[in-house]
Copies of this chain bind each other. A is one copy, B any other.
Amino acid sequence: MTVKKTLDKLNQTWTWTCAIALVALLLLPDAALAESVVSQGEFVANNVWMMLCTGLVFIMHLGFAMLESGMTRSKNTVNILFKNTFILTAGVLCYALVGFNLMYPGEWNGVLGFAGFGLEALATADNTAAYADGGYSYYTDFLFQAMFAATAATIVSGAVAERIRLPSFMLFATLFVGLVYPVAGSWKWGGGFLDALGFYDFAGSTLVHSVGGWAALVAVLLLGPRLGKYTKERMMPIPGSSMPLATLGVFLLWLGWFGFNGGSVLSADPALTSYTLVTTTIAAAAGASAAMASSWGLAGKPDLSMSLNGILAGLVGITAGADTVSLSGALLIGLVSGVLVVASVLLFDRIRLDDPVGAIPVHLVCGIWGTLAVGLFSQNPEHRFLTQLLGVVCYGVASAGLAFAILLPLKWTLGLRVSEAEELEGLDLAEHGSHAYDFGAQRAAPAGQP
């Protein structure tokens, strides 16, 4: 009987050992993620999504370049493309060297902090461990944020097109991407004082779009309108050089926005990311429809560029609350954005604010609206209208003030505006000694074609 018992015991122990070994085997691949709440497979999938979104935000820079080129005159196209190339490339370098560590300074006073200087600070980071609860790796985080950073200055580029001096713009853009955007951004996304107060801005209606929009407004006020845009009596429309390019730009921006908003979930959480893409799409479609209808009603003709700006308006509007407003909230935010962009384009022309691509109506007006709309339509009761308003005001004061503090000395020293002769000749020849298009002699239409 003791033998039997010992055998039983052995048998039992053996079975236990097997069971525990099996369980351990299952746990093994997740050992490195012990501190995290997700499996390795989920971590990899999250990171794939975040890298995809990084690529999509990259596409937005191409979108802006095409939109601005299409909406302005062909004599300034090289200049616009050069500025967009500069902003992206210099912006990424500035953000790597300074910006990222200003924006996410870690332990600090909530207003200004700095985690370290240069590529060394980036290089010492631990990229092998899962970061942010397994949402992405450290370098994915950096690159995603770097792609965001340059967009703020790009917004300004459109508003000041066709008359700003290139070196002045380059200096401004560098300081804006390297210092202003990251410090302002740290107040909310870096865990600063506005975050502590409960201000909410999911993907940057305020932190990116209105920050760029305020700077655009200040720059346009300092620059004045393009020659010939306003006569004593009335506004003279200056048509863009290529509507296919403008359309290409807006569609690419919409595509990029899937990454801008979808990536702001900071993981590939299926429920949150897909919900965010749906609100983003509904708002964009609603913005276009409202802008199409209202401009058609006002002008009596269907207007392509207003419709395109309606898409962008809806996208900027939904950005602050894409994860938290209801579907009908998204629809309403988009519809109001579409009406707002048409109304403010007309208003700004009346008060003689010359903004060639409509950057201020789109990014500033709808950025403010979208941020406030979180206070109205959010399904999270902690989001309050007055806190949202406070955030809007803080960012307005800071962004407009700092833009002014950079641009005014530039106006006094380098000068902000090209000479009248250069503006008439076009910046392409005047500043770059080249031109954007050369189609040779126009061919006659084939015989018999109407």
Contact = CB atoms under 8 A, between A and B. Distances in A.
Interface in A411-450: 423-424, 431-443, 445-446, 448-450
Contacts of A268: 44, 47-48
A446 B139 contact: no
Interface in A98-138: 119-120, 122-123, 127-128, 130, 136-138
Contact of A281 (B146, B245, B301): B146
A237 B307 CA distance: 32
Contacts of A84: 247
Nearest to A39: B41
A410 interface: no
Interface residues of A, number: 138
Nearest to A262: B51
A409 interface: no
- Copies of this chain present in the complex amount to 3
Contact of A282 (B96, B127, B270, B299): B96
Contacts of A273: 47, 51
Interface string A298-310: 0101111101100
B93 A137 contact: no
Interface stretch (A58-66, A339-347, A357-365, A382-390): A58-66
A277 B23 contact: no
Contacts of A142: 278
B51 A255 contact: no
B19 A29 contact: no
Nearest to A237: B446
| Max chain B Cβ within 10 angstroms of own Cβ: one of A81, A128, A142 | A81
Contact of A271 (B22, B38, B137, B326): B137
A88 interface: yes
Nearest to A170: B302
A241 B434 CA distance: 11
A440 B74 CA distance: 7
A441 B442 contact: yes
A123 B239 contact: no
Interface stretch (A187-195, A206-214, A285-293, A366-374): A285-293
B450 A424 contact: yes
A282 to B, nearest CB: 6
| Max chain B Cβ within 10 angstroms of own Cβ: one of A78, A299, A450 | A450
Contacts of A20: 19
A140 B270 contact: yes
Contact of A311 (B38, B85, B423, B433): B85
A126 B45 CA distance: 22
A127 B431 CA distance: 54
Nearest to A238: B449
Contact of A39 (B29, B61, B138, B146): B29
A449 B236 contact: yes
B304 A81 contact: yes
A55 B260 CA distance: 13
A438 B274 contact: no
Interface string A136-166: 1111101100100000000000000000001
A169 to B, nearest CB: 11
A43 interface: yes
A271 B33 CA distance: 13
Contact of A16 (B15, B39, B54, B74): B15
A438 B237 CA distance: 13
B450 A227 contact: yes
B240 A438 contact: yes
A450 B90 contact: no
Given A42-B44, A48-B49, A271-B128, A326 B22 contact: no
Given A74-B440, A236-B448, A48 B45 contact: yes
| Max chain B Cβ within 10 angstroms of own Cβ: one of A55, A61, A304, A307 | A304
Given A236-B448, A448-B236, A277 B139 contact: yes
A49 to B, nearest CB: 5
12 contacts: A44-B49, A48-B268, A51-B274, A62-B255, A77-B243, A86-B288, A92-B281, A123-B326, A137-B274, A139-B278, A241-B438, A243-B434
